[in-house]
Chains A and B, each alone.
Chain A
Amino acid sequence: MGNIVAKDYIVVYRSGARSDANRVLSTRGGVSFSNEFDSGEGDVDLRSVGEDPIVYAELDMAAVSMEADAVAGVRSTRSDAILFVEEVREYAVQLPFDSRGGATRMDVDGDPPVPAAEPASRSLSVSASADLPSYLRGYLQGVAGLTGNLLGGSVGGGVLPGMPAIQGLATPESMSLAEARVAEASLTLPSFPSTEAEFEVAGSQGGFTWGLEATKASISRLTGAGVRVAILDTGFDFGHPDFSESRFGGHKFFITNTASDSHGHGTHCTGTACGPRSMSGGYGVAPEAIIFVGKVMNDQGKGDTRTIAAGIDWALQNGCRLCSISIGAQQEPSKVIEMAAQRAIQKNMAVIAAAGNDSKRPNIKLPVSDPANCTSVLAVASLRQQGSGFALSSFSNGALPSRGWSIDIAGPGENVYSSYPVAKGGFQRLNGTSMATPHVAGVGALIAQSRPDWPGFGIMNALIQLAAPLPIQVGQVGRGLVQAPLNVDWDRV
């Protein structure tokens, strides 16, 4: 009694277990499959499931109508053919508004909405669109128009709102999808003094590194205090004078027999993410974060899927909120690392990785390395200083038209000053997406400090939300230059 109202549910099958799952639904859920409807067969009003289940064969799911008791029966089954059952929720169309206050035109016959911007911008011709399906043409035009608007109506020599003129930005002759063209542009931002020349000594005595200034970590009131940050790399030189023992929450080696770093790469990356910073200077983005050193790479800089997966697991189990992985290989995304990251970011930890340094721009552009090319891992490109602005590093891997992998964000990755093993001089300037990555992880720690209960994907979304757009193709730098939140109220609207 009382449970006689049937509601609609989506039942998610284990991949390949459709017939077993249907049997469970019939025997325990009272669902009849005599008239099941394959969603691929034609039009169906999905708003009313009715008596007959609708099977989404490609998705390994079905929409069924069940009473609460039947749902409980299905959920309590010992069969593993059904992963979970979720009640159908209501969603509504979100009508976007353009800057003039009117609703954006939305076609109902299958075309995606085209932003109510100027029609395809004059300088962004969509030359490759002639033989594309109409929805792709519409999408391309929308993107072109939107890009044109964002860049002040014209890309070549355009002006970003509130920013000085762009210098040296080549006008792309065509923004076609077929040609991933890199505009190696320099953007003049409101200038901050370059302290690079004066920066001779470590820590607080010599001013800030250019990376801390470019990311605004230099003026942030956040320090990453209490946030656990894992650096999965070649380890750390625990004898370094800039890092007291109290800075470390733990260390573990997954390769070799010590977490100590005689290579240098790990000590450098750790310094950028978590090294010292005061009001007057420094090289570390999150100087009060708790450092977890995971040595997943040996002293020759080699590791493997097993060591990296074990490192991610260790970081997650130790409550780390950030996992910085300056590691890569030119290969397809690892399903293991993707799944590990997927599980981590649903919990407390964001996973950030280097795009890789295999390119020689402008001639050779190579795709984002694994594991940065995993969907659930934030991919970081490298920038260099150019004048008072920034340009894409020639070595930085990026999006290619032949692959779906893309860059999410960019960070300072050239001439990066940070800690180094004492036996090798104590400090070093290095280049690489490896150096850009811990800048992003450090900023992630500042975000995590300000939002203690956020899951990993929330931190990653905030990193993208805060980034400063660059006049460089999004496929090469993602949303733009990583920017530190200045205080806890960074998302107040």
Chain B
Amino acid sequence: MSGSAELVEIVVTVREDYAQRLDDVAAGLRAAGMRVDDILGGIGMISGAATAASFPSLKALPGVLDVEVSKPYGLG
């Protein structure tokens, strides 16, 4: 079980039709164990961190379109 408890930084994409209910979606994510850091109202996303094991349950929540692990970028 070691490792699966480690928090991974993620960005959750919220469905278009939930754009006005981001706070509700964030509450659902928190209840499912995600650490919510930032609610991005303009583009309809929520960033934070969660365990990899929780991704399937996060993806199954109402209003959640996708969960993507944050990746590193460099200068172009």
Question: Which A residues form the contact surface with B (CB < 8 A)?
Answer: 14, 80, 83-84, 233-234, 265, 297, 301-306, 308-310, 312-314, 316-317, 325-329, 331, 334-336, 339-340, 343-344, 347, 353-357, 369-372, 432-434, 437
Contact = CB atoms under 8 A, between A and B. Distances in A.
A179 to B, nearest CB: 26
B73 A317 contact: no
Given A336-B11, A433-B76, 15 more contacts: A304-B9, A304-B70, A306-B70, A309-B40, A312-B43, A316-B43, A317-B42, A325-B76, A327-B74, A328-B76, A329-B72, A339-B44, A344-B43, A347-B42, A372-B76
A356 B11 CA distance: 23
A84 B63 CA distance: 15
Contacts of B65: 339
A309 B17 CA distance: 19
25 contacts: A80-B15, A80-B18, A83-B15, A84-B17, A302-B73, A303-B73, A304-B70, A305-B68, A306-B11, A306-B47, A308-B73, A309-B11, A309-B40, A310-B47, A313-B43, A327-B75, A328-B75, A334-B71, A336-B13, A339-B44, A344-B42, A356-B76, A369-B76, A372-B76, A434-B76
A434 B40 CA distance: 26
A326 B73 contact: no
A270 to B, nearest CB: 14
A354 B76 CA distance: 6
B45 A309 contact: yes
Nearest to A397: B76
A313 B66 CA distance: 17
Contacts of B16: 83, 343
A336 B45 contact: yes
Given A305-B11, A313-B45, A83 B17 contact: yes
Given A304-B71, A334-B68, A335-B68, A340 B43 contact: yes
Main secondary structure of the interface of B (DSSP, over half): strand
Interface string B35-59: 0011011111101000000000000
A305 B74 contact: no
Contacts of B11: 305-306, 309, 336
Contacts of A297: 73, 75
A326 B70 contact: no
Interface size class of B (residues with CB under 8 A): 20 to 34
Given A334-B71, A339-B65, A343-B44, A357 B15 contact: no
B38 to A, nearest CB: 6
CB-CB nearest 7 A-B residue pairs: A354-B76, A313-B40, A316-B42, A328-B76, A305-B70, A317-B42, A340-B43
Interface in B1-42: 9, 11, 13, 15-18, 37-38, 40-42
A437 B75 CA distance: 12
Contacts of B18: 80
A325 B28 CA distance: 32
A404 B70 CA distance: 23
A247 to B, nearest CB: 23
A327 B73 contact: yes
Contacts of A309: 11, 40, 43, 45, 47
B76 A80 contact: no
Nearest to A301: B75
Nearest to A266: B75
Nearest to B46: A309
Contacts of B66: 335-336, 339
Contacts of A343: 16, 42-44
B69 to A, nearest CB: 8
Q: Which of B69, B72, B75 has the most CB of A within 10 A?
A: B75
A334 B11 CA distance: 11
B68 A357 contact: no
